[in-house]
Amino acid sequence: MKSNYILPKKLTQPILDWVLIEENRTKYITDEPEHGGNVRARDYLHVIDEDLAKAKFPYVELDRLATEILEFYQLPWNTPIEPNYGFLICYSTQGHQVHKHNDANFNVEGPDESLNEDLPHDYLDDVVHVRFNTLISKPLIGGNPVIEEVEYKVEENEIWRCIAGIDEHYTTKVALDKPRVLLSFGYFIPKEIVYEWKRKK
């Protein structure tokens, strides 16, 4: 759901500048060919990686963006980061379209396999996987989120909320030359807060 809140460019620009360097993308961001089009993504950015730090990834700005988002949505600073992807960046170009899906509300594919749980994909207990997303580079055509079959025409650097563990979501197809660069911040939000958000929708 759109927020109409534009994140400060002074925080998003250093991350965009970093990912637009082809060497950074090819060396540190994984190719994701199964998603169609040219797509590269890197998750678990909330955990500082030594190689990324040496490559001057803008961790300070990423952390400040996370704080900005929590404050905007009036969530406590210690809101748990969801364990499957955490914070991620995704760079994609013409032809890419995120397929329709939901995200799990439990630890199903985190990097520490010993913590992964074998539960039905639609399992829901007391927390919901919610993602707060922003396009720090918005394609000229396409790349908009579609949540529960409603397309949201977001602005560049606008934050939007996706209740990913409940609502089916996908994106419109990217076209023309400008890349789609997504920053996504995943959290486990108490179910009662999420249901209140859905009531107010």
117 within domain boundaries: no
118 within domain boundaries: no
Structure tokens at 119: 């539960």
**Distance (Å, rounded) from C-alpha 167 to C-alpha 195?**
12
Higher pLDDT, 104 or 121: 104
Give me the pLDDT at residue 118, please.
87
Segment 147-156 mean pLDDT: 97
End-to-end alpha carbon distance in the chain:
8
Q: In which residue are the tokens 């060497």 written? A: 23
Q: Are 89 and 44 in contact (CB under 8 A)?
A: no
Give me the pLDDT at residue 87, please.
98
**pLDDT tens-place string over residues 72-107:** 999 999 999 999 999 999 999 999 999 999 999 999
Look up the pTM and report it.
Answer: 0.95
User: Cβ neighbours of residue 161 under 8 Å, at least 6 residues apart?
Assistant: 1, 3, 73, 130, 131, 132, 133, 197
133: containing domain: 2-108+123-200
Structure tokens at 181: 């660069």
Give me the pLDDT at residue 35, please.
65
Least confident of 31-40, 81-90, 158-167, 179-188: 31-40
Average pLDDT of the chain is: 94
Segment 3-7 mean pLDDT: 97
CB atoms inside a 10 Å sphere around CB 178: 16
* pLDDT cut 70: percent of the chain above it: 98
The CATH number given to whatever domain includes residue 156 is 2.60.120.330
Looking at this protein, which amino acid is placed at residue 2?
K
Q: In which residue are the tokens 């000229």 written? A: 140
114 within domain boundaries: no
116 within domain boundaries: no
Segment 148-152 mean pLDDT: 96
**What is the domain count for the chain?**
1
Query: Strand order in 87-92's β-sheet?
Result: 2-6, 158-162, 127-137, 180-190, 87-92, 39-42, 30-31
Segment 135-146 mean pLDDT: 97
113 within domain boundaries: no
115 within domain boundaries: no
Band (pLDDT 50/70/90 cuts) for residue 163 is very high
Give me the pLDDT at residue 23, please.
96
Residue closest to 156 by CA, chosen among 132, 176, 180, 174: 180
Band (pLDDT 50/70/90 cuts) for residue 34 is low
What three-state secondary structure class fits 101? Answer: strand
**Distance (Å, rounded) from C-alpha 191 to C-alpha 126?**
5
